[in-house]
Amino acid sequence: MSRSPSQLAPGTWAPARRIAERVLGPIERFLHVEAASGIVLLIAAVIALAWANSPWGDAYEHLWHVPITIGVGSLVFTQSIHFWINEGLMTIFFFVVGLEIRREMHEGELSDLKRAALPVAAAVGGMVAPALLYLSLNASPVSRHGWGVPTATDIAFAVGVLALLGKRVPAALRVLLLALAIIDDIGAIIVIALFYSSGVAWSGLLVAGGGVLAVMLLQRFGVRSPAAYVAPGAVLWWGMLRAGVHPTIAGVAVGLLTPVRSWFGSEEFLATARDAVDRVAALTQRDEHRADELLKPLGRIRQAQREALPPVVRLQAALHPWVAYGIMPLFAFANAGVRVDGSSLGHAASGTILLGVMLGLVVGKPIGVFLASFAMVRLGVCALPRGVGWRGIAVVGCVAGIGFTMAIFIAGLAFGDPAMLAAAKLGVLLASSVAAVVGLLVGRLALPGAPAPGAALTAAEAEASTEQ
- One-letter-per-residue 3-state SS of 225-252: CHHHHHHHHHHHHHHHHHHCCCCCHHHH
Q: How many CB atoms lie within 10 A of CB 313?
A: 17
d(CA 348, CA 341): 14
pLDDT tens-digit profile of 194-216?
888 776 688 888 999 999 999 99
pLDDT, mean of residues 39-64:
89
* pTM (two decimals): 0.77
According to the model, what pLDDT value does residue 7 have? 57
Cα–Cα distances in angstroms (integers) from residue 234 to residues 152, 186, 251, 405, in the given order? 27, 22, 9, 23
Highest mean pLDDT out of 266-275, 364-373, 453-462? 364-373
Query: For residues 245 and 135, which has the higher predicted lDDT (pLDDT)?
Result: 135
Do 428 and 361 meet the contact criterion of CB atoms below 8 Å apart? yes
Residue 202's nearest CA partner among 160, 244, 262, 142 is 244
Strand-pair partners of 77: 70
Contact 441, 154 (CB under 8 A): no
84 pLDDT more than 90: yes
Tell me which of 35-39, 116-120, 192-196, 324-328 is least confident.
Answer: 35-39
Q: Which residues contact 163 (CB under 8 A, 6 or more apart)?
A: 33, 34, 35
Asked if residues 364 and 448 have their Cβ atoms less than 8 Å apart, the reply is no
Ramachandran assignment for 13, one of left (phi > 0), alpha (psi -120 to 50 degrees), beta (any other): beta
Q: How far apart are CA 58 and CA 433, in angstroms?
A: 26
Give the residue, 13 or 213, on which the prediction is more confident: 213
More confident residue, 4 or 119: 119
Three-state SS for 76? Answer: strand
CA–CA dist 211, 245 (Å, integer): 15
The pLDDT assigned to 14 comes to 64
